[in-house]
Structures are given as structure tokens and as C-alpha cells.
């Protein structure tokens, strides 16, 4: 695994160095994020608020690679430990390709991201006993896109980013929706 990571990093570095100067742009993003938990029973909280951030490296033409991070706060109370657990996806780290359509003042994009999701659930015990917080790390993926609009040369607004977020927790596969918006800072010649 370590050799694969080293080889992948070397190939990425060679691609960046060998690309024409017009294709070495970087953007950093940060903003608000809202997560809607899909398919949860009525006795479990169905949404959570948090932040989203990430980095994008424009490689060649409309293609680039993206690192996407988010964190949503809260726990989902569970009636008993025997039922399927519904987790609030906390810290999420996802990576993958991104396709951006470059129009004069607007850049819509789509991406496919893969990585890990750290989830939290609260097991409610019988009355008089303390509750138990259960955490789990799971494979996650997000498919979606968004729209960036130019504000100044180096500052853009992410009007909206919408993602279908799927997390493969042990007792339950969750299909959630994540919506975010914020600021994008761009470096390099676009």
C-alpha cells in the first residue's frame, strides 16, 4: 500500500510539473454544509449542520482532482442497540476526479468522490442508565456537483454544491443528501 501511494504521488507530481503553466491552478473552498439523513425513522433526528471545505487541482483541460472534507455535528438517538443504527456522518474525507465547465464568469462542475466517513450514534439505555455513544468509520462516496460564480479575480462564490453521500456502515447503509455553499479562493492563472 505504501509503494502504491508513493508511485501515485510521484505520477501526480510529474503530471503537474509537465503540464503547461496554464494548467496548474489551485482552488481552496470553505463554507457551510447541511446534511439530510435519508431514510431515518421518525424518532431519529433527520438533519445536521456543519462545515465543508476542500482543495481542487486543475490538471488538464476540464479535468482535475479534488479533496473534499466536511464535518457535521450531532448524534442520532437510537431506541435500542439491537436495531439498525443510523449514524450522523461526522468527519468525512473524500477524494476523486472533477470535471469543470469553464464559462466566462460561471464554472459549473461535477465530481465523483471516494473515501471514509466517521459516524456517531447514541444508544438510549433503559431509564436511569447513562447513554452510550457509538462511533464507526465506514467507506463513503459522494456523487454530485455545484456552481462557482466569479466575484473578483481570485475570489469566487460557491452558490451551491449538492451531493448524494452514501456511507457503508456495518449494520446500515445510509443514503444522505449534503448541500453546501461558501467561498472559493483561486491561485494561479485561470
Q: Identify the burial level of 13 via C-beta atoms within 10 angstroms of its C-beta, where 0-12 means exposed, 13-18 middle and 19 or more buried.
A: exposed
- pLDDT of residue 18 exceeding 60, the answer is no
pLDDT at 93: 96
More reliable by pLDDT, 56 or 170: 56
Instruction: Tell me the HSE value of 72 on the side-chain side, using a 13 A CA sphere.
Output: 29
**Hey, what domains does the chain have and what are their CATH numbers?**
28-187 (2.40.160.20)
How does pLDDT run across 102-143, given as a tens digit for each residue? 898 999 999 999 999 998 877 777 677 777 777 889 999 999
In the chain, where do the E strands start and end? 26-36, 47-60, 63-72, 76-78, 88-100, 106-123, 132-150, 155-168, 173-187
pLDDT at 20: 46
State the pTM of this model: 0.78
Choose among 50, 23, 13, 25: nearest CA to 185.
25
Choose among 83, 15, 70, 17: nearest CA to 44.
83
Choose among 89, 85, 93: nearest CA to 177.
89
Amino acid at each position: 500500500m505504501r509503494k502504491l501511494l508513493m508511485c501515485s504521488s510521484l505520477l501526480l507530481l510529474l503530471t503537474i510539473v509537465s503540464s503547461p503553466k496554464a494548467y496548474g491552478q489551485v482552488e481552496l473552498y470553505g463554507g457551510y454544509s447541511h446534511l439530510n439523513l435519508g431514510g431515518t425513522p421518525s424518532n431519529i433526528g433527520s438533519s445536521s449542520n456543519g462545515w465543508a471545505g476542500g482543495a481542487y487541482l486543475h490538471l488538464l483541460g476540464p479535468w482535475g482532482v479534488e479533496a473534499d472534507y466536511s464535518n457535521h455535528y450531532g448524534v442520532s438517538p437510537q431506541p435500542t442497540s439491537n436495531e439498525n443504527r443510523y449514524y450522523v456522518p461526522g468527519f468525512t474525507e473524500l477524494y476523486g476526479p472533477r470535471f469543470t465547465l469553464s464559462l466566462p464568469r460561471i464554472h459549473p462542475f461535477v465530481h465523483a468522490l471516494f473515501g471514509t466517513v466517521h459516524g456517531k450514534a447514541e444508544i438510549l439505555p433503559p431509564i436511569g442508565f447513562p447513554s452510550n455513544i457509538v462511533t464507526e468509520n465506514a467507506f463513503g462516496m459522494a456523487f454530485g456537483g455545484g456552481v462557482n460564480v466569479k466575484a473578483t479575480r481570485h475570489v469566487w462564490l460557491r452558490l451551491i454544491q449538492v451531493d448524494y453521500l452514501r456511507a457503508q456502515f456495518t449494520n446500515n447503509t445510509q443514503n444522505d443528501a449534503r448541500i453546501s455553499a461558501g467561498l472559493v479562493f483561486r491561485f494561479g492563472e485561470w
